[in-house]
Chain A
Amino acid sequence: MQWLDRESAVVGRTTSLNDLYPGEMCRVMEITGEGPVRRRLLDMGVVPHQTITVVRDAPLRDPIEIQVGETFMMLRRREAERVVVTRLTKGSAS
């Protein structure tokens, strides 16, 4: 079952940042919705065309840590869900 899910992680498919596994890289397409969250993400460099790497999950799986350029930042899954991305690589960790 688990590996089937991994299979679905096709490179180039549009998905949400929340669905990526640690180690996977992606490119930001857009941030959906309005309000301060979106704004904060944009200001912190999560802008369209930016490449992002998912670094790790917190021990309780939420929040997640991502690398944006030179910075490392954390965000909750609820916020990550709003970031639409395309996968660039397939993750090695799961």
Chain B
Amino acid sequence: MSTLKPALSRHHVLVALSGQQNSGKSTIFNALTGARQHIANYPGVTVEKKSGRYGDSGLSVEVVDLPGAYSLTSFSLEERVARDFLTQERPDVIVNVVDAATLARGLPLTLQLLELGVPIIVALNMMDAAKRRGLTIDPLELEKRLGVPVIPTIGRRGIGIADLRAAIRRVAEAPTRPHMLVDYTVLEPFLHELSTSIEAQTSHSSSVPPRWLAGIALDSGNQNRAVDASLSQRANDIRQKFERENGISAADHIISCRSHLAKDITAAVTVSTHAGSVPLSERIDRLVLHRFAAPFFLLATIWTVYELAIVQGYELTKVTWPILASFRNWAADILPSAGFLWDPQIREIGLWMVDSVNTLLNYVPIFLILFALIAILEDSGYMARIAFILDRALCRFGLHGQSTLPLILAGVFAGGCAVPGVMATRAIPDTRARFATILIVPFMNCLAKIPLYTLLIGMFFTESKGLILFYLSTITVIAALLVSKLLTVTLLRGMDVAPFVMELPRYHLPTVRGVAVRAIERTWIYIKKVGTVVVAVAVVIYALLQYPGLSNERLTHFQAKGEDAIAAFAETIHGNRFTPAVSERSQLITALNVLTSYKSAKLNAGSREASKAIDAELALKHPDLTPFILRSKDAESRTAASALKALSDSRNDIRREMKNERLINSFLGRIGHALEPVTQFAGFDWRINVALLSSFAARESSVATLGVLFNQDDNEAARLEDRISSDAIANYTAVTAVAVMLFFALYPPCLATTIMVRVQTGSYAWMMFSILFPTFLGLFVASTVYTLSTVTGIDGLTAFTVTYLIGVVALFLVGIGIPRRRAIINPPSQAQTLEREG
């Protein structure tokens, strides 16, 4: 036992948290440092190392939370991250978090860590779960066997954390190398031989014990990266010699030595009071994972999530929307006021941004509920069961059981968001499945796709509303699965696949705090990530929609029209006793603006009292304008009010006309026109093109842009549906609507999502692919459906039904396959085998 230099002299201690997946490392990390690292009852949640610090009377302790690793030899990325940190950064203390309820499985890693020669403290976590299983573990006995401090903890309730801090301090003050070594029996001479060679080599990093390096080199075969080339050759020779002489692989021998020692130690330190009894989790699973009941529970869960988050969340937005609306009114008030026909640039951009941000914030209640429910699913342990139930079905299409969570987040049925969906793909260990999931997540029905669907269904399919909604919510899943299969057998073909070997975590009761923290955190990430992008893009789209603007000639034309309207107004109120209040041009404009904000405030007023208060405020602020606005019995006031209303209407008409012309003339409008030769096959005219283009920034803008294109005006009573249908220029049919809906279902991810795709795939090429591929696919499908339907003359509903059925058949053909069975031993061969044995 050699002593090490006390870390205390540096007043800074580096502590690494290491342990198996789901043993509670992140929970202990949070308890130690007060951080809010993501915790879930799902193996492999932490995939990168995270660090935090705390002070302990003058000692600054830096704690690093490492990804869960079952061993340090493994080939998986997380385990490599853990190993590289431990060997290269050389922490002063390793806190090995072990799940007390599954001690025998956790100890092999502990034994491997002991060989590293770094001071170790074992945090024997989940003591409560062990107790519930009837296991009594003697920490002192374990301490004696391992030769390192063992601290019992219950991370979730903060029990034992103070002891753990004290132990860290003690070890930092007087560090000792662990001295316990596993006896590898017949391998020992070979291990010794190799470690002597390593020691002789000067190039190896001196801090890692040669015996440890030798063990890794013998253990990991040809794939080892722990030693350099010449030693690796030597290791191979020695390994082969061992395997020749003993007839077993060195790796198997090493693992088996460790796991038997672990079992012996476990048996020696554990007393089991109700051995052989069925654990509670297993009793729950007998029902929840029962072959016939499982699909029912799964559907019930998804339905509950949908009902609570999407349906009830939508109800909640009706409560929160007035808050956002009053924010917009407030912004409208403080920005420089509007002119008669032209508004100051700053006002236009300002309101445009407020509107963009509002559409985003409108979803916050839904996200809070959705993320809270998902946190409950994760923390309870049911999420891992969903992967168990669905893995088979998803696997057929190149996905993975763990693709479920991203797809649910993105909105499998209706309503979700691709941004958190793409973010959640991190946990998928299988590279190919991860990429496939990232690329199909945007196909799901995100919340922002719904308004356009609703609009088109309201216009063309009022009778078969339910059916179309059903088609839309399922066809996206069908398309996503087919695309995933297509990509898996083509572009993603050569990528790494990982096995699906995962622990089924015990059920936990989620804590209120944990769930709330996570829901708020994820929502905040959404607001931050998406918010910044939306604001930036809103500016760009604004510019594309505004410029180059109207020609001088048209400007003069509109100016003249405006003057006419004002002249008409002046004539009507001539001689009226209220006239002096609006005699100046600036007074008149103020009157018009006051009228507009009065109207929107009234619209937003929830109650009669609020409405009365608005009247009272108006009377107080603008007493001279009140006769022009408030309803009154006075005849002259009535004339004045109707005149101002007429003027306001003509002003709105002229503004709308200008807006429309500006849009046609704008860059985006020109692009929309330029695309018509291509998109005509899908039945898209330039207006639809513009709407679809602008929805790349944020999907919800599709409807807003269509609103502008079809002369939307806030105070106009006619619904957009009616306006589009009555518009003579556009002769849209139900088939057009089907083509648009299909294209929209396959539409490329919105800008915020593509940014996430870039982050998660780490490549711009994949980001571009995620934009271009769906565009071409969507255009192809929409064109095919539109052209064929027009040629054959079928109606929209039939067209959709046929498309849907083709999708279902394709899904069936691709998805079907002979399931892998247990080997069926047929009688003849059985007889033969028996004969041979006899």
Contacts and interface: CB of A to CB of B under 8 A. Distances in A.
A86 interface: no
Given A8-B830, A47-B255, A48-B256, A61 B503 contact: no
B557 interface: no
A60 B821 CA distance: 11
B388 A72 contact: no
Contacts of A44: 70, 105, 501, 503
A57 B823 CA distance: 15
A63 B282 CA distance: 17
Contact of B252 (A42, A57, A74, A79): A42
A54 B393 CA distance: 21
Interface residues of B, number: 50
Interface string A1-33: 000110110000001101111000000001000
Contact of A60 (B105, B255, B392): B392
Contacts of B500: 63, 74-76, 79
A26 to B, nearest CB: 13
B501 A74 contact: yes
A70 B102 contact: yes
Q: Which of B104, B292, B295 has the most CB of A within 10 A?
A: B104
Nearest to A42: B255
Interface string B21-64: 00000000000000000000000000000000000000000000
Nearest to A63: B391
A40 B825 contact: no
Nearest to A46: B501
Given A37-B499, A45-B104, A5 B70 contact: no
Interface string B576-611: 000000000000000000000000000000000000
B388 A65 contact: yes
A81 B822 CA distance: 9
Given A45-B259, A69-B104, A59 B291 contact: yes
A87 B59 CA distance: 57
B405 interface: no
Contacts of A39: 71, 73-75, 251
A43 B824 contact: no
Given A58-B389, A60-B819, A76-B499, A47 B259 contact: yes
B121 interface: no
B498 interface: yes
A88 interface: no
Nearest to A68: B105
A65 B289 contact: yes
Interface residues of A, number: 50
Given A47-B255, A71-B102, A59 B501 contact: no
Contacts of A81: 820
A79 B388 contact: no
B252 A48 contact: yes
Interface in B235-279: 251-252, 255-256, 259
A35 to B, nearest CB: 8
Contacts of A19: 822-823
Contacts of B823: 15-16, 18-19
Given A63-B392, A72-B281, A77 B71 contact: no
Contacts of A69: 102, 104-105
B324 interface: no
Nearest to A8: B825
B504 interface: yes
Interface in B813-838: 819-825, 827, 830
B101 interface: yes
Interface string B491-531: 00000001111111000000000000000000000000000
B76 interface: yes
A57 B503 contact: no
A47 B256 contact: yes
Contacts of A72: 281-282, 285, 503-504
Contacts of B71: 39, 43
A61 B294 CA distance: 12
Interface string A48-67: 11100001111111110101
A39 B393 CA distance: 26
Contacts of B292: 59
Contacts of B70: 40, 43-44
Contacts of B105: 44-45, 68-71
A77 B827 CA distance: 24
B638 interface: no
B291 A70 contact: no
9 contacts: A34-B221, A39-B251, A40-B501, A42-B252, A49-B256, A56-B289, A58-B294, A62-B391, A76-B391
Interface of B: 70-71, 73-76, 101-105, 108, 133, 221, 251-252, 255-256, 259, 281-282, 285, 289, 291-292, 294-295, 388-389, 391-393, 395, 401, 498-504, 819-825, 827, 830
Given A40-B70, A59-B292, 18 more contacts: A4-B827, A5-B824, A18-B822, A19-B822, A39-B71, A44-B70, A45-B259, A50-B259, A59-B289, A61-B821, A62-B391, A62-B819, A69-B104, A69-B105, A71-B102, A73-B502, A74-B500, A79-B499
**5 smallest A-B Cβ distances: which pairs?**
A43-B70, A60-B392, A37-B499, A72-B504, A36-B75
